[in-house]
Amino acid sequence: MVGLLKYLLIPFGILILLGAALVNVPAVQDLLLKRLMAAGIATVPGPDFDGLRVFMCGTSSPLPAPDRAQACVAVRAGNRLYLVDAGAGSARTLSLARIDLSQLRGVLLTHFHSDHIASLPDFNLNSWVAGRPDPLTVYGPVGVSQVVEGFNAAYALDTGYRVAHHGAELLPPELALMQSRIVAPGLVTEEDDLVITAYSADHFPVEPALLYRFDYRGRSVVISGDTLVNDSLIEAATDADLLLQDALSVPIIASLEEATAGNRVSKIFHDIPDYHAPTSDMERLLKATGVQQLALYHLVPPPMNFLLEKVFTRDLPAGVILTEDGMTFDLPAHSNDIIRY
């Protein structure tokens, strides 16, 4: 039997050696390279279902964590793609997922902390290169014009270089300039079956701050941005299918404050709980809203090991999800299903 196995394995060994040798041949390398690049660059087609697709392109807070970008959520309804916030690293996460950015209709900013706006120029550039047909609209509370005008000015030289290099026919310079739109609590946009509504967030001393609700063909998702649990959040999330809520672990932050006593950052850790929803409030939030699925993002701080995850989740009701970058929720139209992968 051993002899037979050796006899059968000889051809496989020869194939492995032959393959290893062929990889050193430039013509074979070029052939494999073409196939690899074609597979790697192809964008992922839009949803082959009717409903909302929610992609987590950033689940961290300003506190750094491996494999997590800062706050960003992508929402696709049919062939329309919107982003809520654009934290550092989130454009890379979305690009690596090969999502077609030519369909990006707008970015909805909840407020203007750096961890919610840092990747805005990257999304603008990437969607411009992808063939977005109109200027990128950036929605947000009062102050959004200052943010957009500042980024447009900062990237003016970059835009000029790219147009000079690749040509205005490929990269129309007018499409590189973001345009701002100030929104207040109330209707943001209504397009066919898609309705986006803004609500007030409680992130004092950051004022004004917003959160957003998407309704599309009988399905709904609410994205909190940064806010304490308040009446406005409860109103927005009542009977929603999916609520993406920022959350803070008081025990972990208190331990960080204690560990950094005498250091400048200790004061920052002391102040952070003032304007983020603690995990201990999640049960009250669930009961008050009746939301079908509560999922936490903008985790303060992102739990990076087994112990921290146990501490972070110990006050949470059963079924609450800690999101990760790249996690996707599909909400098929006129259904109660929420498919997570």
Catalytic residue numbers read 115
Cβ–Cβ contacts within 10 Å for residue 230, how many? 14
CA 85, CA 274: separation in Å to the nearest integer?
21
Of 106, 134, 132, the closest CA to residue 120 belongs to 106
Give the separation between CA 59 and CA 33, rounded to whole angstroms.
33
Residue 22 phi/psi, 5° resolution? Answer: -65, -30
Residue 329 near residue 54 (C-beta atoms within 8 A): yes
Q: Phi and psi (nearest 5°) for 295?
A: -130, 135
Q: Is 188 helix (H, G, I), strand (E, B) or coil?
A: strand
* Residue 59 CB burial class (10 angstroms; 0-12, 13-18, ≥19): buried
Please check whether residue 184 is in contact with residue 166, taking contact to mean a CB–CB distance below 8 angstroms.
no
Write down how long the chain is: 341
**AA identity, residue 302:** P
Spatial contact of 229 and 83, defined as CB atoms under 8 Å apart? no
Is omega for the bond preceding 141 within 30 degrees of 0, making it cis?
A: no
β-bridge pairing 179-182 and 137-140: parallel
Report the relative pairing of strands 219-223 and 242-248 from DSSP bridges: parallel
Tokens encoding 321: 């999800």
The answer to whether residues 40 and 88 touch, using CB atoms and an 8 Å cutoff, is no
